[in-house]
Amino acid sequence: MAALTPADTPSIAQARRLVVKIGSALLVDEHGLRRDWLSGLAADVAALRARGTDVVLVSSGSIALGRRILGLDPGVLPLEQSQAAAAVGQIQLAQGYQDVLGDYQVKTAQVLMTLSDTSNRRRYLNSRATLGTLLSFGVVPIVNENDTVATDEIRFGDNDRLAASIAVTIGADQLVLLSDVDGIYTANPKQDPNARHLAVVPQITQEIEAMAGDPISGLSKGGMKTKLLAAKVAVAGGCAMAIAEGTRQNPLQALVDGARASWFLPQGDPRAARKRWISGMKPQGQLEIDAGAVAALRSGKSLLPAGIVSVSGEFGRGEPVSVSGPDGRIIAKGLTRYTCEEARAIAGHRSGEISQILGYPGRAALIHRDDMVC
Ligand code: GLU
């Protein structure tokens, strides 16, 4: 493999859509929420937003906060108690983010997810659409696992993997896990003076996995092992992932300024990964389009209602449909932004007529080119 140059290392200054995972140990200490640290993070997020970067925060801390509020004993809690603590702590956590980001006029939203929201296709599409809409409004979603309803079998259990799953779901190009370590080392740096820091991991080899054997971070829930599992999900979905030191003040700004971290490089870009995913789906309906629309699709354009001749099948918004030309041959597959009833109503009409026909404003494209494989 050719030697990697600094130019191959991703930089969050260039991120288009960034997911940041924040662990409990960074956010909560024996006095509760670490407001100063959180304010610094908010300043960093506001700066990224001002540059046009979409930002999603995946934040732990609800259980750590809740157990303090409830005065629960230290140590591992039984599941019911950690669920109860999460319910108590989550309000304060969300409020904390709203306060600090509000200081920078950044709007926030609370999104609580379970494993099935990313593995069940319908819910997956719903959560993707909601997060996408929040981002299009310039909102910073604050995501956590819905610890209160999730039983053991349907739990992510750790937010490293939840964050990776979300990053892939929303087509993020970068994921940063803020941790109490600045990356992955060839050996445990606390025990081995020869341990070497890896700034870039082009591929997660067996050798890399062996390095993550023991959790070297005592504070984070899963240690290095769950971080590597997260990295595998992220890079396979076309998203670069960094493990970075988060305990310092303004940790994201530090990364922009070149702080040390370990970057796992993506396998292909997120759009290509998404297209592979779409091409594997079973179409729920068919759209027949005219010759003009076929030419538009072939030149990389989105599918507009005007080019649609007929609609068959039953499908909801976000579901996969096949697209065929006048000769009946299937030329594309994509995720529709309208239900089958809406598609029938607007077929053959210009995009400017949509709101009059449906009685509410809709999207100009019926299938956006990012959601289509030709
Ligand atoms: N969802 C849990 C919480 O908010 C944390 C899970 C994790 O830290 O990985 O406390």
Q: Is the pLDDT of residue 215 over 50?
A: no
Are 12-269 and 280-373 equal in CATH topology? Answer: no
Residue nearest to atom 8 of ligand 1 (CA): 60
Q: Look at residue 36 and give its three-state secondary structure.
A: helix
Asked if residue 171 has its Cβ within 6 Å of ligand 1, the reply is no
Of 77, 113, 158, 229, the one to substitute when testing ligand 1's pocket (max ligand atoms within 8 A of C-beta) is 158
Please give the span between the terminal C-alpha atoms of the chain, in angstroms, as a whole number: 32
Model pLDDT, residue 262: 96
Do the Cβ atoms of 187 and 214 come closer than 8 Å?
Answer: no
Domain boundaries, the chain: 12-269, 280-373
Q: How far apart are CA 68 and CA 82, in angstroms?
A: 11
Report which of 201, 372, 368 is spatially closest to residue 272, judged by C-alpha positions.
372
- Which residues are paired to 185 by β-bridges? 197
How is domain 12-269 classified at the architecture level of CATH? 3-Layer(aba) Sandwich (3.40)
Q: How far is C-alpha 107 from the geometric centre of its chain's CA atoms?
A: 18
Asked if residue 24 has its Cβ within 6 Å of ligand 1, the reply is yes
The percentage of residues in the chain with a pLDDT greater than 90, rounded to a whole number, is: 63
Q: How far apart are CA 285 and CA 90, in angstroms?
A: 41
What is the pTM assigned to this prediction?
Answer: 0.77
Report which of 272, 277, 332 is spatially closest to residue 308, judged by C-alpha positions.
332
| Assigned fold of 280-373 | 2.30.130
Q: Is the pLDDT of residue 6 over 60?
A: no
Q: How far apart are CA 174 and CA 266, in angstroms?
A: 9
Q: How confident is the model at residue 135 (pLDDT cuts 50, 70, 90)?
A: very high
Asked if residue 66 has its Cβ within 6 Å of ligand 1, the reply is no
Residue nearest to atom 4 of ligand 1 (CA): 60
Q: Is the pLDDT of residue 5 over 70?
A: no
Query: Average model confidence (pLDDT) for the chain?
Result: 89
Q: What is the 3-state secondary structure (H, E, C) of 141-178?
A: EEEEECCCCCCHHHCCCCHHHHHHHHHHHCCCCEEEEE
Q: How confident is the model at residue 319 (pLDDT cuts 50, 70, 90)?
A: confident
Asked if residue 44 has its Cβ within 6 Å of ligand 1, the reply is no
Residue nearest to atom 9 of ligand 1 (CA): 158
Model pLDDT, residue 122: 63
Q: Are strands 17-22 and 285-289 parallel, antiparallel or unpaired?
A: unpaired
Q: Is the pLDDT of residue 1 over 60?
A: no
Model pLDDT, residue 7: 56
Q: Is the pLDDT of residue 236 over 70?
A: yes
